[in-house]
Amino acid sequence: MAEQFESWAIVEVMGQQTYAGKVSEQSVGGASFVRVDIPDVKGQSGFTKLFGGSSIYCITPCTEQIARMTAERVQARAVSIYDLPADWKNAIDQRRINFSRSPDGDDETEF
């Protein structure tokens, strides 16, 4: 049986995104993923991201101190709604939204 990878590291993925934290392997539904546990940094709670191997182009193992400093510098975010239309954000905040219609009332939403 192969040894599981676990190390502090900087992970670079498609879309010019960088994540830094404790890196390990995780299996979900029979598929293997690279798990990055991003630590708490100033002004932001830590979170976990899972990446498929084909989306990663670089993993740089490093010390915990370097990973934490990098996580603070890049300020990667967990899932957010920052680019939704304002009325959708408000509806989500109020826990009500009708996804069958676009914000302008037009039933034909283009994607």
Q: What are residue 37's phi and psi, to 5 degrees?
A: -95, 100
pLDDT tens for each residue of the chain, 111 residues long: 578 889 999 999 998 899 999 999 999 999 999 999 999 998 888 999 999 989 999 999 999 999 999 999 998 877 666 667 778 777 777 765 555 555 555 555 444
Q: How is the chain split into domains, by residue range? A: 6-93
For 56-80, what is each residue's pLDDT tens digit? Answer: 999 999 999 999 999 999 988 776 6
CATH topology for 6-93 is SH3 type barrels. (2.30.30)
Chain centroid to CA 85: 21
Read off the pTM.
Answer: 0.69
